[in-house]
A and B are shown apart, each in its own frame.
Chain A
Amino acid sequence: MEDNKTSEEKFVPKGAIAFFILFVLLGATIWYGMFFLMLSRHA
């Protein structure tokens, strides 16, 4: 029981963090891709 508690407290959701960072980067890439495409068409 003691070991289980210790391992739960030290748990870091690395997969979720990596997924979140990639998700944010993907969103920003798509958004800015569209943004600069629109700007280039307004040249």
Chain B
Amino acid sequence: MDRNEIKVIVITGLLLATFLFAVLWAADKRHIDVPACIPYNSKYATSKITQLDSNTYQVFVVAKMWQFDPAEIDVPVGSTVDFYLTSKDVTHGFNISDKSVNMMAVFGGVTETSVYFDKPGTYSIVCHEYCGAGHQNMTGKVVVSPKKQK
């Protein structure tokens, strides 16, 4: 094998190794988890927001043609929100802007993820899985207030 070919293979191998190391480092040290699918239960079919403690919330989101329920979620800054997502009809998408949330709302299934809101503002939620004639209007928002609610 040519010397230059060996160099190319070694350099690309090292680069791929740094990619793999970075992914493993993020998963371990930064506790980056992927959304989880959990067993379906009828309690997830009813939307609600539950406050577990001063900065932890559970939000049960039900997606349906063509809206999210609840459409607006208000939490104080510094909150951790556990989203439990399901669908009442077809498959919908659930994407929160400026947050790495990219989930599917599937009928008969529940998808769960946890999001920490460290900055105040309004975070848009959009359906990014085509779901019918009103798909483009299917939005929601997370409003993160600057101070803790009392």
Contact = CB atoms under 8 A, between A and B. Distances in A.
**Do A and B interact with each other, yes or no?**
yes
Interface of B: 4, 8, 11-12, 15, 18-19, 22-23, 26, 30, 32, 98-100, 116, 118
Nearest to B99: A41
Interface of A: 13, 17, 20, 24, 27-28, 31-32, 35, 38-39, 41-43
Main secondary structure on A side of the interface with B: helix
The 5 A-B pairs of least Cβ separation, nearest first, read A41-B100, A38-B100, A43-B118, A41-B99, A42-B100
A12 to B, nearest CB: 9
A2 to B, nearest CB: 23
Contacts of A27: 15
B99 A24 contact: no
A20 B19 CA distance: 18
B14 to A, nearest CB: 10
Contacts of A28: 15, 18
Contacts of B116: 42-43
A28 B98 CA distance: 23
B100 A20 contact: no
A42 B22 contact: no
